[in-house]
Structure 1
Amino acid sequence: MSKFLNIQSLIAVFWSIFHLYTAIFGAFPAFTQRGIHVSYALALAFSIFSLSKKKEGIRWKVIDAITIVTPLLIGGYLLIHTDRLTSRNWFVDSFTSLDLWLGIIFSILVFEISRRTVGNVITILAAVFVIYGFIGPNLSGLLAHRGLDLQDTVDLLFLSPQGIFGVPVGVATDYVFYFILFGAFLNISGGGQLFNDLAFRITKNAKGGPAKAAVVSSGFMGSISGSAVANVSSTGIFTIPLMKKAGYSKEDAGAIEAIASTGGQIMPPIMGAAVFIMAEMIGIPYVEIMLAAIIPAVLYYLSLLIIVHVKASKEEIQDIKEEMEKKQQKVLGRLHLLLPMALLISLIFMGFSLQRAAIWSIILIVIVSYFRKNTFMSANDILSAMEDGAKQSIHVTIPCAIAGVIVGIIGFSGLGLNFTGLIMEWSLGNIILGVVLVALGCIVLGMGMPTTSAYIMAATLLAPALQEFGIEPLAAHMFVLFFAVLSMVTPPVALAAYAAAGIAGADANRTGVNAFIIGIPAFIIPFSFVINPAVLLIGDTTQIIIQVIMILIGLIAVSLGVVGYLFTEMNIFIRGLLFVAAVLTINPELISSVTGTFLFIGTFVVQFMKLSKQRSSSFIESKVANND
């Protein structure tokens, strides 16, 4: 218990207790609840990412102490003044000079901790938007707006539900924190290791087993962690060394783990934080988004399994079944840890609030952990889970807070509507060109950003353009979510690939490029449901089944073309035909789909004939050699 008597652990545990208490006994008004949530996040983040770790001297320790205590004091101030601050009309009612100064200090703290935790990209971008808010009247054309002064900026960012405490932080406060806490409890109880062990057991006899284990375990774990980088760190330490031992190059091992871990953010039932924000932004219940994501997520992981299998066949990856068995622990004595996940899914479908579903599932984790001695959660384990959950939540809350700055100014200036106009203008009203522009925009916006921030930016600036083309809101937002997720493995800044490269001891840039290449089939999936939303379970059953089959054929074709192998090596012409076949099959028009399917079958025939010819030649050569 004494290990929790340090500033980091105390803040983390009290943050978790605050959320558990308000979930059970009732939350404060939204503005206050969000303010206290971000205050805890800032204090905990400053205690972890402190200056005194890098710089010697008492001065830096004093600065750290100030940055830890100040947000907590401001959170207390928001709590004390709840009635006044929640009843005022922002941009209309006046506020005190103390409100102004606290708003300035709090905003500066958000920017500084964003720089330390999230990185320079989104922090600088947010600063640019703040400047844009000030200089709006001096601009012309689509960028012009009436402008903000200092008081208006503080009102927008700190005293309104549209800035730092906007929808992204609201979702992190009301939903995401509880699901992260659920994942932390499940992991501490042994559920995380159970997923790894199940993956190893399922794939140990398969060709390219370690790589397939990476795909399966990352799908399991990514759904809970909601973070590609965290997923790489948790599963990659097991899978990457095994892939290297089996014969995969360092770069390929890292790349496979990176692209597999990235997909966890679109894998039901939990998915990543961005999906909760999506539900709030488009007003669709989370359970409907979860159902809509099932087929795209399964197709994503099927495409990875296909490409890993073909790659293993081409490169003659060796069987290391015994090594994989050594990495396993007995799973039968821990299968009861799957019960909380089953309860979570059941409660969501029964109509329980997401918060309540997560709370009851956390309680069940603690209860079922007592079923077996090897999963028993002690008081220290429970406190550790509360601490870990809070620490993980930093990496969602801080990006949401800094993204809220950008979203608030975009909303105030009307830039989102203007941006839609630009996309329509640049695409010349052509939907195909428009969709490609949006995809490129999502990747650019996602460079160096966490997925949550990337999605918020893309959903604010780019998704409305897709809807302007007549695309369903759900399909439009799922499209930008997919590309926000895939930005984690898209060069030149591929955060998940860089994390995997560190574990693999590989070159980061080459790992990023390899992850992008291996993930090419996954890039087809979002285009498929924009063309035909049947993949998102929108439409009749027959249409959904046919479209899924066509997309699966297309994914197999692309996977074969990317690796360049089917029975035997392919030439560039056959690989090109497979890419053409893939494009044709995902097109819902009958002629296109049929043509693509016949083209796909034709490549199989050609490659089989080529294999037969090679075998005949080898047989003749061996006979001649024997006669000699």
Structure 2
Amino acid sequence: MMLSARHAKLAVGLIAIALTAVQFAPLALGRNLFEISLLGVHVGATTAIVFLIFGWRSRRGADDPVSPADVVCALLALACAVYFYFQGARVAERIEGVDEVFASDYVFGLVLIALLLEASRRVAGNVLMGLAAAFIAYVFLGPYLPGPMGHSGMSLMRFVDLQVLSSQGIFGTPISASANMVFYFVIVGAFLERSGAGHLFVDLAYCVTGRAWGGAAKASVVSSGLFGTVSGSAVANVLVDGVITIPLMKRTGFSKDFAGAVEATASTGGQLAPPVMGAAAFILADIVGVTYGSVAYAAIVPAVLFYLSLYVLIDSYSRRHGFGPNNELPVAAALKGFRERWHVLLPLGLMIYLLTAQYSLMRVGAISLAAILVISWTRSATRMGPKDIYEAIVAGARGAAEVAIPSAVAGIIVGVLVHTGMALHLERWILEIAGGSLLISLIGAMVLTLIFGMGMPTAAAYLVAAILVGPALQNLGVPALPAHLFIFYFAVLSMVTPPVALAAYAAAGISGGSLWNTGLIAFAIAVPGFIIPFAFVFDQGILLQGDAFNIVRTVGTATIGVVATAMASGGYLFGPLGRPARVALFVAGVMLIAPNETTELLGAAVAGSILVWQLWRSSQARRAAVQTL
């Protein structure tokens, strides 16, 4: 039976409310749910949501009905959620590989796997689904494969036992992070956005940068960075923030392609910026086995360097092309808007405090939601009514679905890798290909992660790359946190890496510019972001780890290097830079970012020479101007 768009929205809303209730149930009950009960509901409910909002080929429009086949799939997903919810006590007590696998386990397990494969195709594209299908086939074809690729195989009973009745399959670490960490921050972000935080960040950005050189573009950088801490999605950031900032950039003289590229790069960086980074950062914390606060702390300097490079590049570019302060920017209106909404920042500050105070993430989420509601009611401009609350819950559940599905499918891959022995073979192959070279391994990991990111959301790209190359990096001596942050950064930066730069393409759709040119410019603007991860792998001082002197030296030289590369890219340092000077300054900047005393000294010498030369040229130009007068 065809489901009308109206009834589909209602169904999504009811599922979202039920999912949210289960996620926060432990606080009301005073005890935790069985792990498989929580994870079963999380996976089943989000899978049902995907079939109701995504069609066979693309996301459904607001008025599109749901086909009978998709209604059946959604109902089957909900049935799986109910089944696994009631298996909690049994699974907690059973012994994996020893206790019996029931016939109902086969039925619901295999149905859930099939539904997840199709849901992942709709959410994350063909790449992730194809990988998962290939790994499942590998389980049963192992005995027939030659050489090290082969393995002893696995019975269907053992496969179902592994995938749906253990913690090393679908209900493993990736989906556990999605349910126990990501969900709470996605729902908080949805409530913050609905309370007016998005408008507040834009207003704040124009108040701070509106009268500066390239003010509209700088406002895009500031607002997108701030909004990114709430949305956690580069494309969503572009679509919400870009509709305001891109037209203003175009009106102040920036080209369509450059305006779109700035917004895409700034929006992408939001996932790198603490205190609330993208969903993949929460999954990273769970995989590495550290608190999310440790991840956010380590990411502070790299995020600052990324946005500093973008801000300086825009300033340099604007001065070179004469995009001076513009009195037409809506600074007065932005100031008024900021005064009306500034209080919605208070819950964000409270959430940061609760995170640093080591509260459970569920409690952090609950307290933050309560604070958002109470504080939003203090002024009419931000007051959340029942409709706003309902829409925020639905938006949060929909956002969680787009993380949960790739996470569950990544769990399938992890289970296969571990139980067939392929993980060890893969690790050995990577090390052999790299010849034991850390640099070559890092370049390979970067390329692989960028390729995955071209066809998957950030969380999915990070998960697959972390599974495939993370252990190899750690075997080469890279500590777990820097190794996984390296992979995470390139999963994020894939959003602005051609040929499939999703954030850049979303921005081009708003600006009316060329998809290809916007993607290439966004990639060029983000280049310092590609250098920083290599630097913090070789020296963790940039991650604020190690002795104080080394941290100060490494962060100081990296900051100067980032400024130098940004000015070289923008083409201005106390006057226009010629092409040879730009190339030399860019190379000097890279040398300063590289954590090596010799390269740092060489880079400082080159950059210092160019600075002196530019100062001398600038003074000569001023003297000539005075003499002309």
**TM-score for the superposition, normalised by structure 2:** 0.93
CA distance in 2, matches of 1:315, 1:121: 42
Aligned partner of 1:199 in structure 2 is 205
CA distance in 1, matches of 2:488, 2:580: 34
Structure 1 residues 214 and 47: alpha-carbon distance in aligned structure 2, compared to 1, 3 A threshold = same
1:148 aligns with 2:148: no
CA distance in 2, matches of 1:4, 1:366: 27
Matched AA of 1:514:
I
The answer to whether the 8 A contact 1:51-1:60 is kept is no
CA distance in 2, matches of 1:59, 1:373: 36
The answer to whether the 8 A contact 1:51-1:61 is kept is no
**For each residue in 1:316-368, what CA deviation from the matched residue of structure 2 results, as whole angstroms up to 9, or x when unmatched?**
22543433337625212322211111111111111211221111011111111
**For each residue in 1:172-218, what CA deviation from the matched residue of structure 2 results, as whole angstroms up to 9, or x when unmatched?**
11111111111111111112211121112111111111111111111
**For each residue in 1:73-102, what CA deviation from the matched residue of structure 2 results, as whole angstroms up to 9, or x when unmatched?**
121112233333333333333312222122
1:33 aligns with 2:38: yes
**For each residue in 1:27-56, what CA deviation from the matched residue of structure 2 results, as whole angstroms up to 9, or x when unmatched?**
32111210111111011111112459989x
**For each residue in 1:88-124, what CA deviation from the matched residue of structure 2 results, as whole angstroms up to 9, or x when unmatched?**
3333333122221221111111111111222112111
Matched AA of 1:357:
V
Structure 1 residues 146 and 320: alpha-carbon distance in aligned structure 2, compared to 1, 3 A threshold = farther
- Counterpart mapping for 1:56-455 below 5 A: 61-325=67-331, 328=334, 329-455=336-462
How far off is 1:524 after superposition? 1.4
Aligned partner of 2:595 in structure 1 is 588
Aligned partner of 2:25 in structure 1 is 21
The answer to whether the 8 A contact 2:198-2:241 is kept is no
Aligned partner of 1:44 in structure 2 is 49
**For each residue in 1:452-504, what CA deviation from the matched residue of structure 2 results, as whole angstroms up to 9, or x when unmatched?**
11111122121222222222221111111111111111111111111111111
Matched AA of 1:498:
Y
Structure 1 residues 589 and 352: alpha-carbon distance in aligned structure 2, compared to 1, 3 A threshold = same
The answer to whether the 8 A contact 2:23-2:38 is kept is no
CA distance in 2, matches of 1:169, 1:119: 19
Structure 1 residues 614 and 134: alpha-carbon distance in aligned structure 2, compared to 1, 3 A threshold = farther
The answer to whether the 8 A contact 2:22-2:38 is kept is no
1:540 aligns with 2:544: no
Matched AA of 2:36:
F
CA distance in 1, matches of 2:266, 2:109: 41
Structure 1 residues 486 and 51: alpha-carbon distance in aligned structure 2, compared to 1, 3 A threshold = closer
How far off is 1:523 after superposition? 1.1
1:563 aligns with 2:567: no
The answer to whether the 8 A contact 1:210-1:324 is kept is no
How far off is 1:297 after superposition? 0.9
CA distance in 1, matches of 2:606, 2:65: 70
Structure 1 residues 4 and 558: alpha-carbon distance in aligned structure 2, compared to 1, 3 A threshold = same
Aligned partner of 2:3 in structure 1 is none
Matched AA of 2:165:
L
**For each residue in 1:239-266, what CA deviation from the matched residue of structure 2 results, as whole angstroms up to 9, or x when unmatched?**
1111111111111111111111111112
Aligned partner of 1:606 in structure 2 is 613
The answer to whether the 8 A contact 2:36-2:87 is kept is no
Matched AA of 1:119:
G
Structure 1 residues 149 and 502: alpha-carbon distance in aligned structure 2, compared to 1, 3 A threshold = farther
Aligned partner of 1:502 in structure 2 is 509
Matched AA of 2:599:
S
Matched AA of 2:411:
G
Matched AA of 2:554:
Q
CA distance in 1, matches of 2:106, 2:514: 48
CA distance in 1, matches of 2:151, 2:314: 51
Structure 1 residues 320 and 572: alpha-carbon distance in aligned structure 2, compared to 1, 3 A threshold = closer
How far off is 1:293 after superposition? 1.0
Matched AA of 2:315:
H
The answer to whether the 8 A contact 1:492-1:509 is kept is yes
The answer to whether the 8 A contact 2:275-2:296 is kept is yes
Question: Where does the alignment leave 5 or more consecutive residues of structure 2 unmatched?
Answer: 1-5
The answer to whether the 8 A contact 1:242-1:324 is kept is no
The answer to whether the 8 A contact 1:246-1:318 is kept is no
**TM-score for the superposition, normalised by structure 1:** 0.93
CA distance in 2, matches of 1:305, 1:65: 48
**For each residue in 1:514-548, what CA deviation from the matched residue of structure 2 results, as whole angstroms up to 9, or x when unmatched?**
11101011111111111210111111222211111
The answer to whether the 8 A contact 2:83-2:108 is kept is no
CA distance in 1, matches of 2:626, 2:381: 57
The answer to whether the 8 A contact 2:8-2:66 is kept is no
- Please say which of residues 19-28 and 382-391 is displaced more in the overlay: 19-28
Question: Where does the alignment leave 5 or more consecutive residues of structure 1 unmatched?
Answer: 624-628
How far off is 1:570 after superposition? 3.1
- Structure 2 counterpart SS, 1:373: coil
Aligned partner of 1:12 in structure 2 is 16
1:486 aligns with 2:490: no
**For each residue in 1:415-473, what CA deviation from the matched residue of structure 2 results, as whole angstroms up to 9, or x when unmatched?**
33333322322222222222222222222232221111111112212122222222222
Structure 1 residues 118 and 321: alpha-carbon distance in aligned structure 2, compared to 1, 3 A threshold = farther
The answer to whether the 8 A contact 2:37-2:86 is kept is no
How far off is 1:141 after superposition? 4.0
The answer to whether the 8 A contact 2:557-2:592 is kept is yes
Alignment: residue pair count: 619
Matched AA of 1:48:
I
- Structure 2 counterpart SS, 1:462: helix
The answer to whether the 8 A contact 2:229-2:271 is kept is yes
CA distance in 1, matches of 2:159, 2:528: 44
Structure 1 residues 610 and 132: alpha-carbon distance in aligned structure 2, compared to 1, 3 A threshold = farther
How far off is 1:555 after superposition? 0.9
Aligned partner of 2:583 in structure 1 is 576
Matched AA of 1:476:
A
CA distance in 1, matches of 2:581, 2:103: 71
The answer to whether the 8 A contact 1:42-1:71 is kept is yes
- Please say which of residues 314-323 and 189-198 is displaced more in the overlay: 314-323
- Give the superposed CA RMSD: 2.4
How far off is 1:221 after superposition? 1.2
- Please say which of residues 444-453 and 515-524 is displaced more in the overlay: 444-453
- Structure 2 counterpart SS, 1:449: coil
CA distance in 2, matches of 1:5, 1:452: 26
Structure 1 residues 204 and 588: alpha-carbon distance in aligned structure 2, compared to 1, 3 A threshold = same
CA distance in 1, matches of 2:574, 2:235: 35
The answer to whether the 8 A contact 2:34-2:89 is kept is no
CA distance in 1, matches of 2:356, 2:498: 38
- Structure 2 counterpart SS, 1:95: coil
Match of 2:538 among 531, 535, 548: 531
CA distance in 2, matches of 1:5, 1:518: 40
